[in-house]
């Protein structure tokens, strides 16, 4: 147990060390050009999507060394046709390639003078770091579940005790089944258990990947959480019945004037529930990264006052950042559980509970 704790702590320190290097180099580069360190820009740059995985930068200007992993750029323009190339062709925004330029994290068409060309429309289908990491998380999820399925088919975990990864994943599956699916969905839990398990593990893996140095904060992207929320909405509506819609459009047991007042509220509630799922996951995962970056940024903010203050505050900042980092590991599990549990609750409401009418009739 102690070895596992030390290993987790060393991982957190290593991640923060790389993050500190990245931020310190940016701060040093800003000072070299007579600019002050902008913590807000550094934080937004860290959590934003990009066309490459950026780990750290050493040096300044054209002689700077960028430790990056370029990703494929796929562009289609009705005026220029299809273009496929690697993001390294942009040289980190310093070069123009095939009439396109990287401005911040966006690719814009430019003319011969290097200025933005409004007459050219472009559709970006590039494999950004959020997309690549999402596919990687999907591959890990499929690998984990398929390998466990093979072990169960061979008898391991059935006629004998589970071992290795199977021993770690099985309690989580049992937890989702016994504490999420069964209490909310009752006898119909088996129908929705595969979706709930997929949802839980997919969010969890992406949450954990987002804590690795240089990785993308996929679950901190509102587009990603919006898709998950829309899928949950489709499942909820597909599971609904006449009992559910009867309570939405004409709530039983209340006067007619109250029914008329409740109708828009209940109808709006159908869409606010998945919206709450979308915002909750996005806000919590983004907030964790912002807090960690805020503590690390304090080092450079104090260093701009005096070098002594920057050096003196470094241990305090790192200690708080490591503490928040460890909490973020716990938050990764909690947010996956909350999203999955609330989805099960909303599905249960769509299925409908007839006990109310039975009690009133009795």
Question: pLDDT tens digits for 289-326?
Answer: 888 888 888 888 888 888 888 788 888 888 888 888 88
**Do 195 and 78 lie in a common domain?**
no
Kindly state the percentage of the chain with pLDDT values over 90.
30
Question: pLDDT tens digits for 182-220?
Answer: 999 988 899 999 999 999 999 999 999 988 887 888 998
Helix, strand, coil percentages, rounded to 5, for the chain = 70, 10, 20
**3-class DSSP state for residue 291?**
helix
Range(s) of the domain holding residue 86: 72-126
Q: Rounded CA gap, 193 and 126, in Å?
A: 34
The pLDDT, as a whole number, for residue 6 is: 45
Q: Is residue 51 part of a domain?
A: no
**Do 166 and 266 lie in a common domain?**
yes
**Do 204 and 117 lie in a common domain?**
no
Q: Is residue 67 part of a domain?
A: no
**Do 239 and 333 lie in a common domain?**
yes
**Do 144 and 121 lie in a common domain?**
no
Q: Which of 95, 126, 157 is the last residue of a domain?
A: 126
Q: Is residue 220 part of a domain?
A: yes
Lowest model confidence (mean pLDDT) among 15-29, 41-55, 162-176: 15-29
Residue 62 parent element (H or E): none
**Do 202 and 217 lie in a common domain?**
yes
**Do 137 and 118 lie in a common domain?**
no
pLDDT, the chain, mean: 81
Q: What is this structure's pTM?
A: 0.81
Q: Is residue 27 part of a domain?
A: no
Cβ neighbours for 200, distance < 8 A, ≥ 6 positions apart: 172, 176, 180, 336, 337, 339, 340
**Do 224 and 328 lie in a common domain?**
yes
Q: Is residue 239 part of a domain?
A: yes
Q: Is residue 210 part of a domain?
A: yes
The pLDDT, as a whole number, for residue 156 is: 80
Q: Is residue 36 part of a domain?
A: no
Token pair 């241990």 is found at 315
Q: What is the DSSP string of 260-296?
A: HHHHHHHHHHHHHHHHHHHHHHHHHHHHHHHHHHHHH
- Of 24, 40, 41, the C-alpha closest to 32 is 24
Mean local confidence (pLDDT), 231-251: 82
**Do 157 and 293 lie in a common domain?**
yes
Number of domains in the chain: 2
Q: Is residue 361 part of a domain?
A: no
Q: Which of 91, 126, 161 is the last residue of a domain?
A: 126
Of the two residues 15 and 234, the one the predictor is more confident about is 234
**Do 235 and 277 lie in a common domain?**
yes
- Of 135, 139, 127, 137, the C-alpha closest to 53 is 127
Of the two residues 41 and 268, the one the predictor is more confident about is 268
Q: Which of 94, 109, 126 is the last residue of a domain?
A: 126
Please check whether residue 52 is in contact with residue 129, taking contact to mean a CB–CB distance below 8 angstroms: yes
Is residue 168 predicted with pLDDT exceeding 80? yes
**Do 86 and 133 lie in a common domain?**
no
**Do 190 and 292 lie in a common domain?**
yes
């Amino acid at each position: 147990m102690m070895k596992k704790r030390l290993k987790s702590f060393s991982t957190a320190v290593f991640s923060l060390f790389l993050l500190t290097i990245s931020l310190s180099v940016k701060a040093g580069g800003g000072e070299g050009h007579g600019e002050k360190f902008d913590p807000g820009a550094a934080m937004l740059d860290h959590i934003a999507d990009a066309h490459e995985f950026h780990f750290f930068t050493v040096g300044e200007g054209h002689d700077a060394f960028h430790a990056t992993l370029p990703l494929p750029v796929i562009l289609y323009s009705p005026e220029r046709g299809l273009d496929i190339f690697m993001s390294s062709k942009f040289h980190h925004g310093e070069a123009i390639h095939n009439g396109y330029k990287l401005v911040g994290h966006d690719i814009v068409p430019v003319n011969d003078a290097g200025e933005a060309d409004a007459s050219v429309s472009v559709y970006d289908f590039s494999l950004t770091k959020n997309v690549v990491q999402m596919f990687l998380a999907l591959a890990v999820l499929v690998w984990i579940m398929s390998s466990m399925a093979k072990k169960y088919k061979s008898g391991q975990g059935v006629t004998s005790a589970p071992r290795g990864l199977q021993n770690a994943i099985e309690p989580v599956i049992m937890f989702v089944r016994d504490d999420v699916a069964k209490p909310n969905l009752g006898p119909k839990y088996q129908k929705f258990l595969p979706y709930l398990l997929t949802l839980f593990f997919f969010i969890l893996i992406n949450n954990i990947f987002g804590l690795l140095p240089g990785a993308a904060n996929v679950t901190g992207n509102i587009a990603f959480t919006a898709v998950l929320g829309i899928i949950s909405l489709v499942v909820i509506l597909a599971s609904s019945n006449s009992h559910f819609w009867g309570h939405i459009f004409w709530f039983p047991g209340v006067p007619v004037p109250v029914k008329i007042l409740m109708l828009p509220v209940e109808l709006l509630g159908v869409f606010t529930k998945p919206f709450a799922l979308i915002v909750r996951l996005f806000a919590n995962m983004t907030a964790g990264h912002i807090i960690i970056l805020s503590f690390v940024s304090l080092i450079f903010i104090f260093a701009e006052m005096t070098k002594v203050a920057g050096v003196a505050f470094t241990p305090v900042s790192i200690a708080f950042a490591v503490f928040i980092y460890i909490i973020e590991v716990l938050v990764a599990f909690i947010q996956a559980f909350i999203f999955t549990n609330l989805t099960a609750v909303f599905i249960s409401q769509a299925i409908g509970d007839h006990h109310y009418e039975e009690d009133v009739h009795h």
